[in-house]
Structure 1
Amino acid sequence: MNELTEKIETELQTPDNNVYYRLYLEGEDIWNRWARGAFSDEEAEEYGLGKVEPFSDKEKANLAAKLRVKLLPEYEDEIDFSYLHFGLITNFRGYVFPINVTFNGAVFNGIADFSKATFARPVDFTRAIFKEESAFHSTTFTTRTNFNEATFLGASDFTLSTFMRRAIFEESTFKGKVTTFREVTFKGQVEFSRVQFFEIVDFINSGFLGPADFDGTMFNSYSSFENSSFLAITDFSNGYFKQVPDFSGAKLHEGTTFYKRYFNRKNKNANSNGYAKFEDSYRILKKHMIDTNNHTMALKFYSYEQDERIKHLPLFKKTPLLLYKWMSGYGVSFVRPLIAIFMTILVFTLTYTKIYNSLSFMEALRFSTANMFPFASGSKLIISDVFRDPLLTNFIGTLQALTIIQSLVSLILLFFIGLWAKNTFQMK
């Protein structure tokens, strides 16, 4: 138990002393009839309570007596569940919260179900702890929502939920085996900065209509943004993806940034379909970088794309691409072909000195260098001088074959350097 958890649990309140907790125990129907009294007919329709009858005065009095209070709670107050200790099952499924509600520091010891609930006013789950599964499936958050520093120890499900305004998950921790934000709509600003996702997290088919902040977010396992749409500025700066993220089919806003974001390109248990998806992900990221004129990142994602492409190809198709990678880094490396040029010069220099004893090492080195750069000034003269050497008359055929081979290698490596220059200044 960490220091924060210990602090929260020492501040926990007794549920039985909380009138809202006792009202919650009466069930969804009673709660929503009480909530109905806070809304006009038009608002009641909006929040799904159009057919719910509000309490009569007599029913209010009877319910107040049952809850051991003189009057039912007023709607000007705040529903306060802060630091409450909830039991093994917490069921707020379908509940409508008509006024501000806080679960600040609350601890849910078992399954917590808020599916199809509606928060008509701001809700605060700051520092709340969910020890088991938590469900917010098809939940509607009408205004500001705060899960700042919340801890989810079990699987959490926000599938089909809607956040109408600002949603804050800053510094939250998700340790459950699966965290699901599938088909979620974020209509306002959403903040996932410095969040820790320890296991699988799923944002498939979700829509980010406002700015999205993932600055410093740690994705420690597989993460998917497949077919998601980012329609405003999105920040993935800093932090890391410990496995290849899935951005296949995603739409990125031109203001999306991955500044200092680390990509670990190893994925556990990936198959050919998985590699194809990762290839698509990097292709989308590459295109985004091209569209935003970030050529350095475009080249980086292009090389990642090719790496994933190789993984699901048969050997006969994979081999030339591996050679292409080794010699040029897929046309984005200047150093690799340059090193290959120096190595080729050295190898052919040693070959010439071994076959032709009349050539000294320095003569062979000049000849080999001239063959690598045949269009350079003086190269033709050096080459012709060697071919006119009477001591090499008997080896002219072999010498011609070697020079042709070296010239072909030279053309390939010089082409890779030219390709690097082209890709560096204009990624297409």
Structure 2
Amino acid sequence: MTLHGEQEGDEIDWELHEKNRKAWHRWAAGAVSDEQRSEFAGLADITRLELSSIPSRADETHERYTQEMKRRNADTFQVPRMPRPTASIEMQNVNFDRLLCLSNFVIPKEMILSGSKFREQLHVGGAVFVGAFFAENVAFEKGSIFFQSRFLRDAWWAKSSFIGAARFISIGFQGAARFDNTRFWRANGSLHDVANFSKTSFEKIASFRGTYFESATMFEDCNFLGSANFNGRATRLNGADEPAAFAGKTSFKGAHFHTRSDFARRRFGVQDGEAETITFADVIFEGPVSFEDAKFAHVFPGLDNTTFPHSTKVTAKLSHWPKLRPSLLSRIRNLYTRKSKTTSEQKPTEIREAASRLRHVMARQMMPEEEHFFFRYEMGAAAREGGFCERILNLPTYIYGAISEYGHSIARPAILLVVMWGFWAWVYVTCAKFTVTTAMAFSFATIFRFLGFQRTYLDEETKRLEDIPWMELIAASQTVVGFVLLFFLGLGLRTRFRLR
């Protein structure tokens, strides 16, 4: 691969690279049949002649190999036999201290890089990997660039680590592509590093099970013809359990999933990190998709024009979605600990649109509990849209949420009814001079005035209030407020029994 010399510095010497590539193909031609020669040459954008087996060129390559082995090693070094092109290309546990460029290379047999370390960048453009590719537990310390290359068999990057930008752009994976438990790290905290898989085609399984993305992530315009596994099952790293996550900005915009896709237990954003955008806009899910137990720490995903299948799993729990407002206990705790607020800073309009989209998906699957969960988020975001004037107009919606959690809570209106019953009873005792027992009975009858208890049992007490006009107003207001609370209580009961 570097028969004519290694690359020096950060810039690629393309003249040197061309010499290395042609020398490689003179050697590799022995493993390529006549039928394959034209196909591989076309894929790698090289001439058919370059990949042809010519005895004189093969002898020249062998002679160069012997000279370079002697030059790069001690005088006593015994030059090993030149590897056969039909054998596997084994480079396990090798330290690559300089930039390695494999652009437009045809790799005729399986390539094994497992356990190796790339201290400088690996640059692969327009290459063809005919056999399986193994890069398990490999450290890419300066990132890597793969673009417009083809992997005709399975490719493995399991348990590897990429530090800095990792680009897999316009790649064709004709076999399985496995990045299980791989780590994509930012270089020195850089926000510009991206794990970019845009416009890549996965013809068989694409497995990113347990993969952690600290850097921003892009899967835009990808084509998943086989199943896609982004399952976030917790994995053990350095002796500690670590959830698999998209910790940075994440985009699947325009991706197409032709069969099953799995995002179960995946973390989108990290709890203590900064809020990053997540988009599945224009994504097409043709097969079943699972976001079961997936957590969105700070923001709802963008779901504009997203096509969901009839089988879509989403976990409807408050712990898995951003908080619109903290509980009273959380507010008190934050004041005491002087922590900043932990609620989502995403625009209410974006939350409402995403929640509305998910609500429709759940309704189509006849999952009322999940549907109402996202309905509550939708209404909560709607109450916070706009400026001051718009929020004043949205006050009824806000009150609806505060009193009954948008028709879901039974406890809130029931507790408010009990509080109102006791408070108005105290008012009747102090202002109308009722006895405690009579005041409690009268307060109860006033709340349930439509049942006629006042006319039947408390007619005398009702007439006594006629002498105190403002007390009649108090009693009337209790009836109105009580009716509203009873309505919300009934709505909560109806919702609860309809759901369960």
Pairwise TM-score range, normalised by the shorter structure: 0.7 to 0.9
Residue of structure 2 in register with 1:259 after alignment: 292
1:241 and 2:317 matched:
no
CA contact (8 A) 2:26 2:58 kept: no
Residue of structure 2 in register with 1:395 after alignment: 468
Alignment counterpart, residue 380 of structure 1, candidates 432, 437, 452: 452
Between 97-106 and 404-413, report the one with greater CA deviation: 404-413
Residue of structure 1 in register with 2:308 after alignment: none
- 3-state DSSP class of the match of 1:136? strand
CA contact (8 A) 2:252 2:281 kept: yes
Residue of structure 1 in register with 2:230 after alignment: 214
CA contact (8 A) 1:116 1:139 kept: yes
The residue type paired with residue 331 of structure 1 is: G
Between 116-125 and 133-142, report the one with greater CA deviation: 133-142
CA contact (8 A) 2:448 2:479 kept: no
CA contact (8 A) 1:247 1:281 kept: no
Q: Structure 2 vs 1, CA of residues 191 and 291 (structure 1 numbering), >3 Å: closer, same or farther?
A: farther
Q: Structure 2 vs 1, CA of residues 385 and 168 (structure 1 numbering), >3 Å: closer, same or farther?
A: same
Residue of structure 2 in register with 1:7 after alignment: none
Cα deviation digits, residues 329-387 of structure 1 (max 9, x gap):
33344444444444444444444445x33234444444444444455xxx421466446
CA distance in 2, matches of 1:98, 1:315: 67
1:184 and 2:260 matched:
no
Query: How many angstroms does 1:73 deviate by?
Result: 3.8
1:229 and 2:274 matched:
no
Q: Structure 2 vs 1, CA of residues 380 and 115 (structure 1 numbering), >3 Å: closer, same or farther?
A: farther
Residue of structure 1 in register with 2:73 after alignment: none
**Gapped regions of structure 2 (runs ≥ 5):** 8-15, 67-78, 187-192, 234-243, 270-274, 300-321, 323-341
CA distance in 2, matches of 1:313, 1:300: 23
Q: Structure 2 vs 1, CA of residues 342 and 246 (structure 1 numbering), >3 Å: closer, same or farther?
A: farther
Residue of structure 1 in register with 2:24 after alignment: 31
- 3-state DSSP class of the match of 1:237? coil
1:314 and 2:387 matched:
yes
Q: Structure 2 vs 1, CA of residues 100 and 248 (structure 1 numbering), >3 Å: closer, same or farther?
A: same
1:43 and 2:36 matched:
yes
Cα deviation digits, residues 111-148 of structure 1 (max 9, x gap):
22223322222101100101112112333222211111
Residue of structure 1 in register with 2:209 after alignment: 193
CA contact (8 A) 2:432 2:465 kept: no
1:299 and 2:292 matched:
no
TM-score (norm 2): 0.69
Query: How many angstroms does 1:291 deviate by?
Result: 4.0
The residue type paired with residue 401 of structure 1 is: A
Residue of structure 2 in register with 1:330 after alignment: 406
Residue of structure 1 in register with 2:48 after alignment: 52
- 3-state DSSP class of the match of 1:158? strand
Query: How many angstroms does 1:423 deviate by?
Result: 7.0
CA distance in 2, matches of 1:45, 1:310: 64
CA distance in 1, matches of 2:497, 2:404: 13
The residue type paired with residue 248 of structure 1 is: A
Query: How many angstroms does 1:62 deviate by?
Result: 0.3
Query: How many angstroms does 1:206 deviate by?
Result: 2.3
Cα deviation digits, residues 82-105 of structure 1 (max 9, x gap):
111112422222322221011101
Residue of structure 1 in register with 2:76 after alignment: none
CA distance in 1, matches of 2:101, 2:455: 87
Alignment: residue pair count: 405
Q: Structure 2 vs 1, CA of residues 388 and 165 (structure 1 numbering), >3 Å: closer, same or farther?
A: farther
CA distance in 2, matches of 1:370, 1:29: 97
Q: Structure 2 vs 1, CA of residues 383 and 115 (structure 1 numbering), >3 Å: closer, same or farther?
A: farther
CA distance in 2, matches of 1:123, 1:57: 29
1:119 and 2:126 matched:
no
The residue type paired with residue 65 of structure 2 is: L
TM-score (norm 1): 0.80
CA contact (8 A) 1:20 1:79 kept: no
Query: How many angstroms does 1:281 deviate by?
Result: 4.0
**Gapped regions of structure 1 (runs ≥ 5):** 1-14
Alignment counterpart, residue 413 of structure 1, candidates 488, 491, 495: 488
Between 358-367 and 209-218, report the one with greater CA deviation: 358-367
Query: How many angstroms does 1:36 deviate by?
Result: 4.7
Between 197-206 and 93-102, report the one with greater CA deviation: 197-206
* Cα RMSD, aligned residues only: 3.7
